[in-house]
Amino acid sequence: MKTLSDSLGLTHNGKNFLQADWPAPANVKTLISTRNGGASKPPYHSLNVGAHVGDHSDDVKRNRQIIQEEAGVPVAYLNQIHSSTVVRAEDALETLRDADASVDRSGKAACAAMTADCLPVLFCDKAGTVVAAAHAGWRGLAGGVLQNTVKAMGVAPLEIMAYFGPAIGPDAFEVGQDVVDVFCKQYPEAERAFEHIGSGKYLADIYALARLVLQHEGVNMIYGGEHCTVLERDTFFSYRRDKQTGRMVSLIWLDKTQEAV
């Protein structure tokens, strides 16, 4: 059967998409897009799913259809506002919701986090009954988006596993004293996630900060966190690197046709 990507002359050889590398139940499915394999023109080339970045709306629509084909389940995109708000993914299918995380138990929707340097965090429980996705920039991370997502899942934190998708790496994330202060005030041990580079500037490890937050919530099964969206230029969009650019999306959903084993 000819797919939309075929008609656009695009290739889907697996290299355009990533999957979470973690011991999740078999009925938990993930899909992480890269910048490649879509219809958008520069500077959004090519698989931009962000409808808010200035890209041509028809190209964004095509790209989201490509994502839809790959996932096979409706994708619940959010109007991400760097908040700590969590919604049900089902509720975001018909109406765009102002939120930065979603949760699903139904298998009727894929939870989605759009990023281009911020940290996407995917969640599931060991029993394969609930999934969630969170968009965690430093503001949302400091504001409680991960804590609220864990609570919204409604299972014991020790039953939850988390996967860190592609984000800005510790060699590229330069921040000021204000960012250091907001985290160290909450978690004194967060000081280890910052490297002072002079003139009131620091290199921040957003993966380490998110790991610290989750461990404080009792989530200890944490995976991923090996990419850098800024340095891996050919693979990922990066707002900090390019300013005018596209967005990737990280998805997670429950496959109700498959048992959790």
Q: Which amino acid is at 47?
A: L
Cross-strand partners of 204: 194
Q: Could you tell me the two tokens for 247?
A: 């967005």
Q: Which amino acid is at 167?
A: A
| pLDDT band (50, 70, 90) for residue 124 | very high
Q: How buried is 37 (Cβ within 10 angstroms: 0-12 exposed, 13-18 middle, 19+ buried)?
A: buried
Q: How many whole angstroms separate alpha carbon 127 and alpha carbon 233? A: 37
Instruction: Determine the pLDDT at residue 14.
Output: 53
- Give the predicted TM-score (pTM) of the model: 0.93
Q: What CA–CA distances, in Å, run from 123 to 9, 61, 63, 75, 229? A: 34, 27, 24, 16, 21
Q: What percent of the chain has pLDDT over 90?
A: 92
What does residue 231 show for φ and ψ, rounded to 5 degrees?
Answer: -80, -30
Q: Stretch 158-170: mean pLDDT, rounded?
A: 98
Cis peptide, bond prior to residue 46, ω within 30 of zero: yes
Q: Which residues of 230-254 are buried (b: 16+ CB within 10 A; e: fewer)?
A: beeeebbbbbebeeebbbbbbbbbb
Q: How many whole angstroms separate alpha carbon 210 and alpha carbon 219? A: 11
178 assigned to some structural domain: no
105 assigned to some structural domain: yes
Q: Which amino acid is at 190?
A: A
Instruction: Determine the pLDDT at residue 259.
Output: 72
Q: Which helix (H) or strand (E) holds 255?
A: none
| Domain total in the chain | 1
Residues 19-37 have pLDDT tens digits of: 999 999 999 999 999 999 9
CATH of the domain at 80: 3.60.140.10
Residues 6+ apart with CB under 8 A from 57: 51
Range name among 5-14, 141-150, 222-231 with the lowest pLDDT average: 5-14
Contact 121, 102 (CB under 8 A): no
* Dihedral sign computed on CA atoms, order 52, 75, 148, 145: negative
Is the backbone of residue 144 left (phi > 0), alpha (psi -120 to 50) or beta?
left
| DSSP secondary structure, 160-195, as one string | EEEEE-S---TTT-EEEHHHHHHHHHH-GGGGGGEE
46 assigned to some structural domain: yes
Q: How many whole angstroms separate alpha carbon 186 and alpha carbon 169? A: 22
Q: Which amino acid is at 246?
A: G
Residues 50-103 have pLDDT tens digits of: 999 999 999 999 999 999 999 999 999 999 999 999 999 999 999 999 999 999
Domain hosting 100: range is 4-168+222-254
Residues 6+ apart with CB under 8 A from 32: 17, 18, 19, 20, 120, 165, 166, 248, 249, 250, 251
54 assigned to some structural domain: yes
189 assigned to some structural domain: no
152 assigned to some structural domain: yes
Instruction: Determine the pLDDT at residue 202.
Output: 97
| DSSP secondary structure, 1-24, as one string | ---HHHHTT---SSTTEE---S--
| pLDDT band (50, 70, 90) for residue 39 | very high
259 assigned to some structural domain: no
240 assigned to some structural domain: yes
